[in-house]
Amino acid sequence: MVLVLTHDDCLSHVTPPGHPEQVARLEAVERGLRGLPMTRGAAAMGDVADVLRCHPQRYVDRLRAAVPDEGWAQVDGDTFLSPGSFDAAMRGVGGICQAVDHVMTDGGRAFVAARPPGHHAERDTAMGFCLFGTVAIGAMRALEVHGLSRVAVLDFDVHHGNGTQDLLWDEARVRFVSSHQMPLYPGSGHRDERGAHGQITNLPLAGGSGGAQMWAAWQPVLDDLRRWQPELIMISAGFDAHRDDPLAGLTWTTADFARLTRAICELADECCAGRVVSSLEGGYDLEALAASVAAHVTELGRQAA
C-alpha cells in the first residue's frame, strides 16, 4: 500500500492572484487521489538539521526572516512568500524525510503531496517557486541516517531540476537524472552537465515532443540504473510535461506518466525491494494535474508482480 503524506500547512503557502503555483493545485491533487487505495498520513514538521545537509544556516535564517506578517514578500520574479510559506516548505521537508524513513523501515512506496515544490531551490537561492530542495534533502537523509550508498533521484518535471543538480553536484552516492524541455526555464540541464563524478544525467527534450521521445530518453537510463543497483529510488514528480500544461510545450499524456512511473517501480522491485519515494513538483493545469497524480499514485500503489 502506498503511503501518501500531506499537511494543511501546505495550503497556507499562498501566492498572489493569477500565480500558477496556487493553493488550488493541492486541492486538485486531493481530487485526483480520491478513492485510490492508499494509506494517508500527516507530513511531519521538518527538522532544520535535515535542511542543513543541503542549505547553509544563513539561508534558512534569511528565508525565515523574509516571511511577511501579511501580504507577500517577493524572492525573485516567480517566487513569493506569504505568512504561511516557511511552515509549508518545512512540511515538505518533514514529509520527504518521514517518507524516506517509512520506506527504509517498512518497505513499499510513498508519495509526498506538498507545496511549494523544491527542485529549483539551489544551495543559497530560492527560485522558480521553490524554497528548499526537498528531494535532495530526502536523498541526503537516506545516505546519512540510513547509511545507503546508492540512491537514484529521477526528475521528470518539464523544467530542469537545477536545484537538485546544484545540491547533489559533488555527491557520488546519488545518481541524478532529469528530463526536461529545452530551451525552457531555468536554461540549464544540457547533456554536458554531468556532475563532479559523472553521476548526473540530463535528458533535454525538444518542445512539442511526446511520449515516444520521453520513452526513448528514459529507457536506456533505466537500464543503466538497473546495472548500478540503487538501494532507494526517489522521484521529483512534476506533471507539467502534460500536453495541457500552460507553462510548457511537451505533449505527454496521463498514460505517459503512468508508463514512466510503472517502469521506475519495476526497476525498484528488481533492485531495492520496491522502495520508491516520490515528491510533488510542478503541474499547473488543474485537471491534468489531478488525472496525472491519480495515474502516478495508482502505479506506485501496484503490488510487485
**Active-site annotation, residues:** 120
Q: Which of 128, 133, 161, 230 binds another protein (CB under 8 A)?
A: 128
DSSP 24-69: HHHHHHHHHHTT-S-EEEEPPPP-HHHHTTTS-HHHHHHHHHH--S
Closer residue to another protein, CB minimum distance, 47 or 193: 193
Rounded Cα distance, 292 and 270, in Å? 25
Least distance (Å) between residue 223 CB and another protein: 30
Q: Which is nearer to another protein, 64 or 190 (CB)?
A: 190
Which of 13, 102, 120, 150 lies at the binding interface for another protein (CB under 8 A)? 120
Q: Which of residues 136-165 bind another protein (CB under 8 A)?
A: 159, 162
- According to CB under 8 A, which one of 2, 9, 14, 20 is a site residue for another protein? 20
Does 223 bind another protein (CB under 8 A)? Our answer is no
H helices of the chain, where?
Answer: 23-33, 48-51, 57-66, 85-106, 134-144, 162-167, 211-228, 254-271, 286-301
In whole angstroms, the minimum distance from the beta carbon of 242 to another protein comes to 13
- Please say whether the beta carbons of 204 and 228 come within 8 A: no
- C-alpha–C-alpha distance, residues 287 and 295, integer Å: 12
Positive or negative CA dihedral for 125, 129, 134, 135?
negative
Number of residues that bind another protein (CB under 8 A): 22
- Helix (H) or strand (E) run with residue 235 in it: strand 232-237
What amino acid is encoded at 278 in this protein?
Answer: S
Cis-peptide, bond into residue 220, ω within 30° of zero: no
C-alpha cell at 246: 500552460
Task: Please identify, using beta-carbon distances, which residue of 120 and 296 lies nearer to another protein.
Answer: 120
Judge whether 6 and 26 are in contact, CB under 8 Å. yes
Residue among 61 and 76 whose Cβ is closer to another protein: 76
Within 10 Å of residue 204's Cβ, how many Cβ atoms?
16
Is residue 247 within the footprint of another protein (CB under 8 A)?
yes
Task: Indicate which single residue of 67, 73, 125, 186 sits in contact with another protein (rule: CB under 8 A).
Answer: 186
Of 86 and 129, nearer to another protein (C-beta) is 129
Contact window for another protein (CB under 8 A) among 5-13, 136-144, 247-255, 293-301: 247-255
User: Is position 19 an interface residue for another protein (rule: CB under 8 A)?
Assistant: yes
Q: How far is the CB of 187 from another protein (least distance, A)?
A: 3
Q: 170-201: string of b/e by CB count within 10 Å (b at 16+)?
A: ebebbbbbbbbbbebbbebbeeeeebeeebbb
Residue 80 in the binding site for another protein (CB under 8 A): no
Among 187, 228, 270, 287, interactor with another protein by CB under 8 A: 187
CB proximity list for 193: less than 8 A, separation 6 or greater: 165, 200, 202
The one among 249, 258, 266, 302 contacting another protein by CB under 8 A = 249
Among 37, 61, 246, 287, binds another protein (CB under 8 A): 246
State the minimum distance, in angstroms, from the CB of residue 105 to another protein: 36
Q: Under the rule (CB under 8 A), what is the footprint of another protein? A: 19-20, 76-78, 120, 128-129, 159, 162, 181, 183-188, 207, 246-249
